[in-house]
Structure 1
Amino acid sequence: MAKRDQPAMRPVMDGRGLGFAVQAMAKREMPAMRPVINRGSLGSAPPVRAFERWNPAVRAAAGDEGDAVITILGAIGEDWWTDTDNSARRIGAELRRIGARDVTVHVNSPGGDFFEGLAIYNLLREHPQDVTVKVLGLAASAASIITMAGDTVMVPRAGFIMIHNVSAIAIGNRHDFREMADMLEPFDATLADIYSARTGLPKDDITRMLDREAWIGGAEAVEKGFADQLLPSDAMIEEDDPAADPAPAAHRLDSILARQGMPRAERRRLIKDIKGGTPSAADQGTPGAADTPSGLRDALDTLTSIRL
Structure 2
Amino acid sequence: MTVRDLPAMPAISMRSGLGSEICPSALGRWQADIRAASDDTTENTISILGVIGADFFGDGVTARRIAGALRAIGDREVVVNINSPGGDFMEGLAIYNLLRDHKQKVTVKVLGMAASAASIISMAGDRIEVPRAGFLMIHNTWVMAVGDRNDLHDIADVLQSFDKASADVYA
Q: TM-score range by the shorter chain?
A: 0.7 to 0.9
Letter in 1 for 2:73: I
Paired residue secondary structure (2:165): helix
CA distance in 2, matches of 1:63, 1:134: 19
Paired residue secondary structure (2:130): strand
Structure 2: any 5+ residue segments left out of the alignment?
1-36
CA distance in 2, matches of 1:128, 1:110: 28
Match status 1:169 vs 2:121: no
- Residue 176 of structure 1 deviates from its aligned partner by 2.1
Letter in 2 for 1:153: I
Picking from 149, 159, 166, the partner of 1:184 is 159
Q: Which residue of 2 aligns with 1:96?
A: 71
CA distance in 2, matches of 1:188, 1:179: 14
TM-score where L is the length of structure 1: 0.42
Q: Which residue of 1 aligns with 2:113?
A: 138
- Over 3 Å counting, the alpha-carbon distance change for 1:85 and 1:172 in structure 2 is closer
Picking from 90, 100, 117, the partner of 1:115 is 90
Letter in 1 for 2:65: R
Letter in 1 for 2:46: I
Aligned-pair identity in percent equals 60
- Over 3 Å counting, the alpha-carbon distance change for 1:108 and 1:190 in structure 2 is same
Q: Which residue of 1 aligns with 2:45?
A: 69
CA distance in 1, matches of 2:60, 2:135: 22
Higher relative contact order (CA 8 A, sep 6+): 1
Letter in 2 for 1:177: L
CA distance in 1, matches of 2:154, 2:90: 20
Q: Which residue of 2 aligns with 1:194?
A: 169
Q: Which residue of 2 aligns with 1:282?
A: none
Match status 1:128 vs 2:103: yes
Q: Which residue of 2 aligns with 1:80?
A: 56
CA distance in 1, matches of 2:140, 2:38: 35
- Over 3 Å counting, the alpha-carbon distance change for 1:85 and 1:171 in structure 2 is closer
Q: How many residue pairs were aligned?
A: 135
- Over 3 Å counting, the alpha-carbon distance change for 1:69 and 1:177 in structure 2 is same
- Residue 63 of structure 1 deviates from its aligned partner by 7.2
Q: Which has the higher helix share?
A: 1
Paired residue secondary structure (1:134): strand
Pairwise CA RMSD: 1.7
- Residue 185 of structure 1 deviates from its aligned partner by 1.1
- Residue 131 of structure 1 deviates from its aligned partner by 0.4
